[in-house]
Amino acid sequence: MNTAAPQAPEQTQPTLQRPELLAPAGNWECAKAAVENGADAIYFGLDRFNARMRAENFTEADLPELMEYLHRRGVKGYVTLNTLIFPQELREAEKYLRTIISAGVDAVIVQDIGICRLIRHLSPDFPIHASTQMTITSAVGVEFAKSLGCNLVVLARECSLNQIDRIQYQIARSDASLPLEVFVHGALCVAYSGQCLTSEALGGRSANRGECAQACRMTYELIADGNEVELGDRKYLLSPQDLAGLEVLPELVKTGVSSLKIEGRLKTAEYVANVTRVYRQALDRAIASLSPEAPADSSLPKVDETKPNQYQVTNEEHYNLEMAFSRGISTGWFKGINNQELVHARFGKKRGVYLGEVTRIRNEQITVQLQAPVKPGDGVVFDCGHPETKEEGGRIYAVEHRGEDAILSFGRGNLNLRRIHVGDKIWKTSDPELDKQLRQSFNGENPQFQRGIDIEVYGEVGQGLRAIARDELGHVVQVQSEMPLVEAHSKPLTTERLRSQFNRLGNTPFYLNYFTNHISGNVMLPVSELNRLRRNIVENLEKLRSQPKRWQLNSNASYKDLLPISSDSSISSSPHLIVLVRNLKQLQAALSEGIETVYCEFEDPRNYREAVQIVRHYNLNIKTQKNQDIKTTIYVAPPRITKPGENYILPQVRSCDADGYIVRNYDQLKFFSADKCIGDFSLNIANPLTADYFKKLELERITASYDLNINQLEDLVKNCPPQWFEVTIHQHMPMFHMEHCVFCAFLSNGTDYTNCGRPCDKHEVKLRDRVGTEHILQADAGCRNTVFNGTAQTGAEYVQRLIAIGVSDFRIEFVNETPNQVTQIIQRYRQLLQGEITGSQLWRDLKLQSQLGVTRGSLEKNSLS
């Protein structure tokens, strides 16, 4: 909800901001496709440290040429450095950043907090964009990014229009105002970016390192209370439809966001051209519909003020977007949460445009009742409801129209007609004619997309004609004729004739927007001289625009300046076991084992008060019965995400009066700043620069990122005081953390928590993957779901190595274990820390006795560096 105070009728509405249109570029061809179809900026990765390592990506050597090309065309270029950086990579990251800054890149998109610190240490003015991987969902998150030196924030995709409005309202009334960027089109991650550990858990390919394995696009079975739920053809339970914000563009513009981002660095140049062109035209139309007072010479479409709503999405635009790439399209979370719409669950791969159902198969011809146009040469696929299997498809040879039906013919032998049935759905997956048009938009040497310039001319008889040109970026050039103006006895240089001459800008990056004639009297000048002036304007503007940005760069600065002073690991204390529980029965089991530090992460924070009372009562009993001052400390955890409108949850958590709090995000860092706090894994602490930043916020301890393998973890600890850290050595990896509620979507007909009937309170639910593992599904107080790996993993074999370098705090986490299992696992880990058993003995013992299927886990995975 937009909470801004309504303005009085006589007040002037603020001027609408035209958002930047930001397009993806995985290679040179994609960059050109974006530029020639109207992108204001592109973002691209280099060959290291970016979240799309499977893209072709550019190299450092490409940067000068690429930036010169972009700037000459009036387009900005942003480098993605949006992954976590490991300790041994800081030296290379610094060199990388120096290259990027020196090349005149317009900004770098960053996930890692330590890298934000390093950039600002190297350069006081080089722009930093906080990546969506930072999981910023609130005004406090924007404030946090600004404190790091960021110049723009990419909000989480899960923010609705109302929430964006609310964030804008809040930051405008604070010192934390920063431009905001949102994704407007493309694939949606079902998990919060920066909070997805699925690829890491299942295959050692971390999404936080650019190696997403797309497990969300796979099939899953829903198991409720031990029984499989019959869902028909809905198997892709975690695969969202693609985002298309075209429908809500005017509303997005009105929120005041500064940049609209198109996803797709793994997509083709045709995709980039297609989607960029659609949004360029639609965005200009949306701006025009909101700006009825646009100047007469404006390039924007004119608005008929008698019609209340000028903006509409055309059928052609909808068709083009579906043909570009589509798993089905929706407005994502822009309109709020609709769990029935976000995930249709029927397929997880590209489909395209829906043509209809097969109504007849005869004589190698297929009849369909058409829902969309089709022509010879188009490619189609037949959907029998099992997209996980090989599907029939091919190119159409001929089309015979009979009313609403079409009879499709294919090349002989191209289809196995025995695998196609009446009732199968047909999707158009390829349109060669459209692809040809799109390629023509960026093929060739001459610019296809032009940007407006304003020209004004001055002069009088006896003087040279002086022309001043300004582009949309503020560059100004001035040229003057080599011969003076003379009095015209016939055909003087009228405004119309001058405009016509200066408007001949074909094959240049420019078109003439405004022209102003300040010439005195009736004068003349040869056409050849006017042509020379026009050419000089173009040459001088291109030269001025293509000059690299000159950012400040401190040659003496180094990442080493930011490293914390590490302490002697030999003075560390005895190993200490910390237990995280997720229900009261597990808590009682942990207390019965004498655990001195316990963390609670419950779905309902209202239950924390009882948990605290249980611990306090336990401490009193211990003191009374055993006359011991040793007591158990209890910390409680708020939900991992905090969004506008959820401010009640944090006071509710604090009201339990726990000994301390587990902080997971920027809102919690601020809210609990006066309390004892532990920084959790979701803060993504992967290097000493990040660790140092969070420790300076007075956190008791910080939890190392789950993306680190044992060698990287050792590097982190050795470069910091080891007592800063606690290491999770036993857990069910929290793989997906998502706004999407599987309970609501598949166990109710509701759209969100207001009408779902809360099946999460009534059922124990698991998701069974293709290899038969049943992953645990839980909801939190914000109705967000976490999918926990059904197989627990352990770093037990590395505990002695970690103790040797000074780590003394080790965490084990439980999800759905019984009290007996909790007791058994605690006992084994206590024996491990006391040196009574080895890590391999623990691993084998638990695997044999408890049937938990424990694996060696993420600590042993090979480095991706």
Secondary structure tally for the chain: helices H, strands E: 24, 37
Distance from C-alpha of 834 to C-alpha of 725, rounded to nearest angstrom: 19
Closest residue by Cα to residue 207 from 738, 711, 662, 713: 738
pLDDT at 8: 31
pLDDT at 292: 61
Counted residue by residue, the chain has a size of: 865
CB 752 within 8 A of CB 336: yes
DSSP 515: E
Question: Which residue stretches of 666-811 are H helix?
Answer: 666-671, 688-695, 710-718, 742-747, 799-804
Q: Does 222 reside within a domain?
A: no
CB 334 within 8 A of CB 245: yes
Do 534 and 430 lie in one domain? The reply is no
Q: What is the 3-state secondary structure (H, E, C) of 459-479?
A: ECCCCEEEEEEEECCCCEEEE
Distances (CA, A) of 319 to 46, 315, 374: 33, 6, 12
Do 377 and 277 lie in one domain? The reply is no
Q: Does 820 reside within a domain?
A: yes
Pull the structure tokens for residue 12: 């002037």
Distance from C-alpha of 480 to C-alpha of 33, rounded to nearest angstrom: 36
CB 503 within 8 A of CB 514: no
Pull the structure tokens for residue 252: 């997005």
Closest residue by Cα to residue 759 from 775, 746, 773: 746
Distance from C-alpha of 101 to C-alpha of 453, rounded to nearest angstrom: 29
Distance from C-alpha of 12 to C-alpha of 8, rounded to nearest angstrom: 9
User: What range does the domain containing 755 cover?
Assistant: 736-790
- Region for residue 645 given its phi and psi (left: phi exceeds 0; alpha: psi -120 to 50; beta: otherwise): left
Closest residue by Cα to residue 455 from 545, 538, 546, 522: 538
Q: Does 308 reside within a domain?
A: no
DSSP 685: B
Pull the structure tokens for residue 466: 């002086």
Pull the structure tokens for residue 64: 């000068």
Backbone angles phi and psi of 440, in degrees to 5: -65, -25
CB 33 within 8 A of CB 272: yes
Cα 685 to chain centroid, rounded? 19
Do 800 and 784 lie in one domain? The reply is no
Do 581 and 659 lie in one domain? The reply is yes
What sign does the dihedral 490-493-499-504 (CA atoms) show?
Answer: positive
pLDDT at 210: 61
Contacts (Cβ under 8 Å, ≥6 apart) of 312: none
Residue 378, domain CATH: 2.40.30.10
CB 794 within 8 A of CB 802: no
pLDDT at 640: 95
- Hunting for tokens 């929430």 — which residue is that? 163
Closest residue by Cα to residue 54 from 229, 189, 205, 280: 205
Domain boundary among 417, 440, 463: 440
Pull the structure tokens for residue 528: 């050849």
Closest residue by Cα to residue 493 from 538, 536, 535, 457: 457
Pull the structure tokens for residue 153: 């924030």
pLDDT at 2: 31
Do 323 and 378 lie in one domain? The reply is no
Do 33 and 79 lie in one domain? The reply is yes
pLDDT at 15: 57
| Strand 365-369 versus strand 379-383 pairing type | unpaired
Can you tell me whether residue 748 is helix, strand or coil?
A: coil
Domain boundary among 382, 415, 440: 440
Residue 55, domain CATH: 3.20.20.70
Distances (CA, A) of 413 to 241, 251, 376, 738, 774: 34, 50, 17, 45, 42
Pull the structure tokens for residue 670: 């601020």
State the 10-residue block means of pLDDT for the chain, 865 residues long. Answer: 32 66 96 98 87 71 95 96 93 95 97 97 98 96 97 97 96 91 95 83 62 83 96 94 96 97 93 97 94 49 48 94 94 96 92 94 91 94 89 93 91 86 95 96 93 96 96 95 93 94 95 96 95 97 93 96 79 87 97 96 95 95 72 96 92 97 97 97 96 96 93 94 95 93 96 94 94 94 93 90 95 96 95 92 67 42 37
Cα 365 to chain centroid, rounded? 44
Q: Does 131 reside within a domain?
A: yes
Do 783 and 846 lie in one domain? The reply is no
Q: Does 466 reside within a domain?
A: yes
Can you tell me whether residue 664 is helix, strand or coil?
A: coil
Q: Does 84 reside within a domain?
A: yes
Distance from C-alpha of 40 to C-alpha of 74, rounded to nearest angstrom: 7
Do 367 and 463 lie in one domain? The reply is no
Distances (CA, A) of 121 to 80, 556, 686: 19, 10, 19
DSSP 709: -
Do 719 and 758 lie in one domain? The reply is no
Closest residue by Cα to residue 671 from 180, 139, 193: 139
pLDDT at 176: 82
Listing DSSP states for 577-595 in one string gives EEEEESSHHHHHHHHHTT-
- Hunting for tokens 């393998």 — which residue is that? 709
Cα Rg of the chain, angstroms: 31
Q: Does 589 reside within a domain?
A: yes
**Orientation angle between helical segments 315-324 and 269-290, nearest 10 degrees:** 150
b/e burial code for range 598-611 (CB count within 10 A of at least 16 → b) = bbbbbbebebbeeb
**Orientation angle between helical segments 28-36 and 269-290, nearest 10 degrees:** 30
Pull the structure tokens for residue 798: 């590395």
Distance from C-alpha of 277 to C-alpha of 297, rounded to nearest angstrom: 22
Cα 463 to chain centroid, rounded? 58
Overall pTM surpassing 0.85 (yes/no) = yes
Backbone angles phi and psi of 2, in degrees to 5: -80, 115
- Compute the half-sphere exposure of residue 273: CA atoms within 13 Å on the CB side of its CA: 22
List residues bridging with 151 in a β-sheet.
none
**Orientation angle between helical segments 63-72 and 28-36, nearest 10 degrees:** 10
Pull the structure tokens for residue 810: 């080790």
Domain boundary among 491, 510, 545: 545
Can you tell me whether residue 298 is helix, strand or coil?
A: coil
pLDDT at 730: 93
Do 70 and 171 lie in one domain? The reply is yes
Q: Does 8 reside within a domain?
A: no
Q: What is the 3-state secondary structure (H, E, C) of 597-650?
A: EEEECCCCHHHHHHHHHHHHHHHHHHHHHHCCCCCCEEEECCCCCCCCCCCCHH
Distance from C-alpha of 380 to C-alpha of 595, rounded to nearest angstrom: 62
Distance from C-alpha of 73 to C-alpha of 449, rounded to nearest angstrom: 9
Q: What is the 3-state secondary structure (H, E, C) of 38-76?
A: CCCEEEEECCCCCCCCCCCCCCHHHHHHHHHHHHHCCCE
Do 506 and 618 lie in one domain? The reply is no
Q: What is the 3-state secondary structure (H, E, C) of 783-827?
A: CCEEEECCCCEECHHHHHHHHHCCCCEEEEECCCCCHHHHHHHHH
Residue 760: CB atoms within 10 A of its CB come to 23
Do 417 and 455 lie in one domain? The reply is no
Distance from C-alpha of 298 to C-alpha of 311, rounded to nearest angstrom: 18
List residues bridging with 262 in a β-sheet.
185
Domain count, the chain: 5
Pull the structure tokens for residue 288: 């025009």
Pull the structure tokens for residue 89: 């990579």
Can you tell me whether residue 715 is helix, strand or coil?
A: helix
